[in-house]
Structure 1
């Protein structure tokens, strides 16, 4: 029988049975004497059968029981079968075949063929084969396959990597642990993102060989990859310390564990570790308590922090400057600047003198509280005690001056600081640049940018973001995009904030289509939109009256199970309320409550406004009652409902919205209200008002006068 007839005959039998995936053994048996390896490979690679992996699998299994031994022991047929199996996601079948073959492959013929194949092998095949060798208890052969993937620059699956690492460290030889460390390093370089389990495996290997410093170093590296220690991590280290050769951990080791738990917010577990120290007659020291106190202030609040301070005092552990600084830091963060000042006084009374950190924290606290005079007094006191203020102190004061629009004083401050030897950084200039943009002094901001570069200060992505944000704020979106291109040319990688700023800039100018075009372009360059991106685009559509497109975007997000938040819903609710579509607003509230998103005043206020406008007073009062129950401020349909510290932006935006909608009477009413409250509007808002009134042939003298000022 000719080869073509054999292939055609077997293929025909298999095609007849491909619906249920079975094979007719009796019909196939007649072809056994004519089977050769090339013929088997031709059948397994037949195009009409490759789309039916179950049929191919049944035929391969039939071969394993009926074909001559040379055919059964050849790895070539297996490697021909695996690609279609993997293509159709039959991973478990592929791995099972590999494990079965490896267990009987005494000469490692399959391994040799995988390392030196006749044609390139797909990544899923190598990845699955690597996992199969690990499963078969041959980690070193699996390691060789990993090395091949490394040479080919193929990124293995994280699960495969973890499986290989586990098998290497569990082999309990120091050489295998060394190999595991190499695999970890190479896997990260290939783009694998390790998880907590990855680190726990490596930590186990280091602890088994009593390399506790290496184990703790791995713990400290975990946050670099966005993962954190868990109970397994700490229990592995403690178990190794306590049980290997009778060796016991010391206070330093426990303090390291306490810090790790506190950094992750696991304060209860950190306190249990502290209690375990006491049981082992290891007395917690000031470092232990400082770590616990700092963590408690951060994660549990000041009550728990002060409780630990009292406990520390009762146990005879004296507070040091770090303890006092922790208290000062958290009081300032909570806005309790007077209490922080009293803490500094008590600190001095106890014989402990404030250091640079204490003064910097207090200066920053006074600046945030708007007490610039107190901040300068503190700087003076700091200098008298021989503690030179650093650039952090300078930047804190600079930020406050810019917030108060005292830009000349701010610039004079950095001039004097430069003369006195301060090394100004990009934060210094970034603060000044944004201050000038917010004061609508874009030209001066750009001069400062050039001055910064002239001083040899190399801007980072964060500083570029400041400049791009400022240009967008000044409605110079094209220049903002130019700066983005400049950033790229310098080899910097824009982050989510960069893209969001430009998308917001386009939307702010009403160029929503360009915003989407830019969004799509950046997605093609690996930009990953976040919830802020989606909300910016949604708000842009709503502002321009493209409500149906906004709902289309929203529905696509929901259908893809992309996360949305209160702001997302508030944006849509506000938009439908402006259109009088109250029933849709009610549906959106029901939907957001179903997602455990709690409505706030920005949810209720547009509804109350719309209900009042529609004369549905009783319903409006019910919603006001709901708002009162949340403990938030009630602001009725007064157009200043969203006014906060950024009132100029809010008023400017609302007036622009009304002008876009052709509601010039309401825009003028809001303009007059802003005048009464002393709110300064963006010049572009005045231009939009003037444009609106020109269209209606109304007097523009008042607006024009304001524009000239």
Structure 2
């Protein structure tokens, strides 16, 4: 499963680098201080735990990352010594962890600017910029994002990429108006990518911004309005086709497919993958298999994504036998099963309520040294909730934490809700503390569930401590959670804690944009591989 935004990246091949989150370790030494070691996890936790906005982050960074020190970088595979710089991926790995841990965007920006200021010692990549922009845009810090883009355009223009443009335009399309998105595209051309002649690639980014938000009316409007200026290519067509597919209307997909053929575009393997996915998601598995045959008949070799889509489609129609057959055919097609393929088969087994086989397959993934991901755990937890109950969920939860795996936000929220509804607040607190110890700042919706559960059972002190951890890390509580905790603190006449809560909230309001002060929503929409 991938988000639509990521799937558009994969289908359209907009150039970008996917950073592997290697756990780089930095060892600093100087004549005046002993050796000290810091790794990505530790630095991420230091940044997340830093009190915001009471103290600036820069002195803390200088303390832990002295730029005048000689630096030796050690990774899990190689050791590189350089007296001037550290491993280039260190900054982008830290920013990646800050993004995954829902850190306050202004902290991430301060770390990026620290690295930018000391770039002779802490080199930055375009991936680091993209992650910073993603963090800022997700929290709707658009003014800060534009300021950063203008600064980079003047000082480090080589860091600007189409992906950086895509991140900003997609979020503006999501949170602002159609006209705002077109104005942002104009600003990109005139103020950021100065001297670059915009062509089809940039046009594709704009179209993708609307398609990634399922705004197909706007996407078609942009296409008609600008097609005379930019010559569309097959990528443009596939972006639009994928957008129609995500609207959930197979008829629209087929209508647009025939339109692109009439326009003279020949379908490619990406086109077929999108159409197959559209039919599978509508439980038209037979049509998906028909398109596979047509695809092969036109000498387009199916990719591992094609087979993964069909395995999942077989699961949707409860045809586990066909799912196994497709999976077993993977090596016969000279393909290699990846995590996504295993996840699709696990999903098929879970849908048929064969949870034991799904758990056995998870162990096989581990034996084959294939990395489990957030989808693996989320699918299995969903199945265990329906079949094994709290004991089965707890058993997998203990295994997950023992492996030091941190689940995605939607899984955290699902588990927190399940633990609280089943009166296992001990597990809810355990999950919260596990995330905090790992350097993560849990999502506000997880706090809502935990505070509600704790307060309803008289555990107001614990609810206050969790809320305080959230606020000190620079993230707002929702208004609902704040009001509930406020009511229980008033009832307990604990005015000191209430004053602390109000003061921390007031401090955040002075620096965070009003539009996100009490954000509680979370998107559970996913795209099946």
Change (3 A) 1:458 1:309: closer
> Contact 1:434–1:470 (CA<8 Å) still a contact in 2?
yes
Q: Which residue of 2 aligns with 1:334?
A: 213
Q: 2:116 aligns with which of 202, 223, 234?
A: 234
Q: Which residue of 1 aligns with 2:297?
A: 419
> Contact 1:401–1:410 (CA<8 Å) still a contact in 2?
yes
Q: Does 1:598 align with 2:478?
A: yes
Structure with greater proportional helix content: 1
Q: Which residue of 2 aligns with 1:249?
A: none
Change (3 A) 1:157 1:364: closer
Change (3 A) 1:503 1:317: closer
Q: 1:481 aligns with which of 353, 359, 363?
A: 359
Q: 1:361 aligns with which of 239, 243, 254?
A: 239
For each residue in 1:271-297, what CA deviation from the matched residue of structure 2 results, as whole angstroms up to 9, or x when unmatched? 1343579xxxxxx99x97967754541
Query: Counterparts in 2 of 1:244-323, with a 5 A limit?
Result: 261=129, 264-265=132-133, 266-274=145-153, 293-298=165-170, 300-301=172-173, 302=181, 304-308=183-187, 311=190, 319-323=198-202
Secondary structure of the structure 1 residue equivalent to 2:273: helix
> Contact 2:28–2:37 (CA<8 Å) still a contact in 1?
no
Q: Which residue of 2 aligns with 1:349?
A: 228
TM-score between both structures, scaled by the size of structure 1 = 0.46
Q: 1:552 aligns with which of 426, 432, 439?
A: 426
Count of aligned pairs between the two proteins: 402
Secondary structure of the structure 2 residue equivalent to 1:353: coil
Change (3 A) 1:448 1:421: same
Higher relative contact order (CA 8 A, sep 6+): 2
Change (3 A) 1:558 1:299: closer
Change (3 A) 1:309 1:552: closer
Query: Counterparts in 2 of 1:467-616, with a 5 A limit?
Result: 467-528=345-406, 535-541=413-419, 545=422, 547=423, 550-557=424-431, 564-568=442-446, 596-598=476-478
Change (3 A) 1:380 1:199: farther
Distance (Å, rounded) in 1 between the aligned partners of 2:83 and 2:183: 31
How far has the Cα of 1:363 moved from its partner? 0.6
> Contact 2:200–2:231 (CA<8 Å) still a contact in 1?
yes
For each residue in 1:353-401, what CA deviation from the matched residue of structure 2 results, as whole angstroms up to 9, or x when unmatched? 2112111101111112234344334434544666443333222222221
Change (3 A) 1:535 1:311: closer
> Contact 2:67–2:118 (CA<8 Å) still a contact in 1?
no
How far has the Cα of 1:597 moved from its partner? 2.8
TM-score between both structures, scaled by the size of structure 2 = 0.60
Change (3 A) 1:238 1:311: farther
Change (3 A) 1:503 1:334: closer
Structure with greater proportional strand content: 2
Q: Which residue of 1 aligns with 2:176?
A: none
Secondary structure of the structure 2 residue equivalent to 1:230: helix
Change (3 A) 1:200 1:413: farther
Change (3 A) 1:502 1:358: same
Deviates most, 392-401 or 414-423: 392-401
Q: Which residue of 2 aligns with 1:188?
A: 75
Greater Rg by CA: 1
> Contact 1:347–1:354 (CA<8 Å) still a contact in 2?
no
Secondary structure of the structure 1 residue equivalent to 2:248: coil
Distance (Å, rounded) in 1 between the aligned partners of 2:256 and 2:207: 14
How far has the Cα of 1:479 moved from its partner? 0.5
Q: 1:376 aligns with which of 254, 260, 264?
A: 254
How far has the Cα of 1:565 moved from its partner? 4.3
List runs of 5+ in structure 1 lacking aligned partners: 1-126, 147-154, 169-179, 204-217, 240-255, 278-283, 605-629, 634-643, 647-709
Change (3 A) 1:566 1:379: same
Q: Which residue of 2 aligns with 1:135?
A: 31
